[in-house]
A and B are shown apart, each in its own frame.
Chain A
């Protein structure tokens, strides 16, 4: 068991800095293993460096967010671990 592991829902705050829609209920499909689950049900690893949302089934990095803390406000967003993101409802 890894104590640093949180639910994807815990990353809701930092993800909401970027996405203006509710992302924790969006369906995220893993590009590596194909498993699909709501972002809130995936695993989140959060640190001062950044946030990584990993596939709950295979641990593949689905979403990586790094916020540059100095200089102009700048985010680095890596979504290559996602096969797709399915959004529902009013965005």
Chain B
């Protein structure tokens, strides 16, 4: 029968490479059998099963572009987490990882949807936004993009080198960092949590009708979403992805 809707199913991905990004984050590169492809911004559910049958499940955003062959997940190691320490410390190339996806078409962007695109990330909240930046580049799209990226310190800026490289080659991609805990000598950028004043300086004007994607810890996301609406942005064009407490 044609067009029988396919239900979301669990499958076993193979870990083909792991690579540290920063002291607290790691990228997992996966080959997933029968992967139907994803849209930038979507996530997967990952499930670990203990020998006694106990299961723990978490969601991870896909950081890779749909155009890439492998699927990259960015994992932040949370000290008291049930899942992330296993993913960052134990998982090796060749291991299997149970997951399902892609999931969540609402927090997704395709190059043909245009923009301008205003992206706001807190820490590992960069993952789905990185997929958008990579997708835009892979698609040869020139939608104007601004990324406001909040990190604790310079060393903890995830994907820092790649972001610097792609921004240097692309006049329509602007990246603005803010460092909330420590700054390197000579730092001239922002050095505080994101606030309405910063958003007013950095965001496209409401009149340009940007499409905004905000991803990170819940307090950051709620502050940014509230402030953007306060600045006059259309709430329907501000999409949010809160980590909440379950990122472990």
Residue among A5, A13, A20, A46 making CB contact with B103, cutoff 8 Å: A13
Residues of A within 8 A of B45 (CB): 13
Given A13-B100, A38-B106, A7 contacting B240 (CB threshold 8 A): yes
Q: In B37-59, which residues have CB < 8 Å from any A CB?
A: 43, 45, 59
Binds A, one of B5-13, B15-23, B113-121, B137-145: B5-13
Contact B7–A6 (Cβ < 8 Å): no
Chain B: residues with Cβ within 8 Å of the partner, total of: 25
C-alpha spacing A10/B101, complex, angstroms: 12
Residues of A within 8 A of B104 (CB): 9-10, 12-13, 24, 40
Is the CB of A29 closer than 8 A to any CB of chain B? no
Is the CB of B244 closer than 8 A to any CB of chain A? yes
Instruction: Return B87 CB to nearest CB of chain A, in Å.
Output: 17
Find the B residue at minimum CB distance from A3: B245
Given A4-B244, A20-B5, A20-B7, A25 contacting B100 (CB threshold 8 A): no
Is the contact region of chain A dominated by helix, strand, or loop, or is it mixed?
mixed
Contact A10–B239 (Cβ < 8 Å): no
Is the CB of B105 closer than 8 A to any CB of chain A? yes
Given A6-B244, A10-B244, A41-B239, A22 contacting B6 (CB threshold 8 A): no
Is the CB of A21 closer than 8 A to any CB of chain B? yes
Instruction: Return A43 CB to nearest CB of chain B, in Å.
Output: 9
Query: 4 additional contacts, CB 8 Å, given A16-B7, A21-B5?
Result: A1-B218, A12-B43, A37-B236, A40-B105
A-B contact pairs, 15 of them (CB 8 A): A1-B218, A3-B244, A4-B244, A6-B244, A7-B106, A7-B242, A9-B107, A10-B241, A12-B43, A12-B106, A20-B5, A21-B5, A24-B105, A25-B106, A46-B246
Listed in ascending order, the chain B residues whose CB lies under 8 Å from chain A are 5-8, 43, 45, 59, 100-101, 103-107, 218-219, 222, 236, 239-242, 244-246
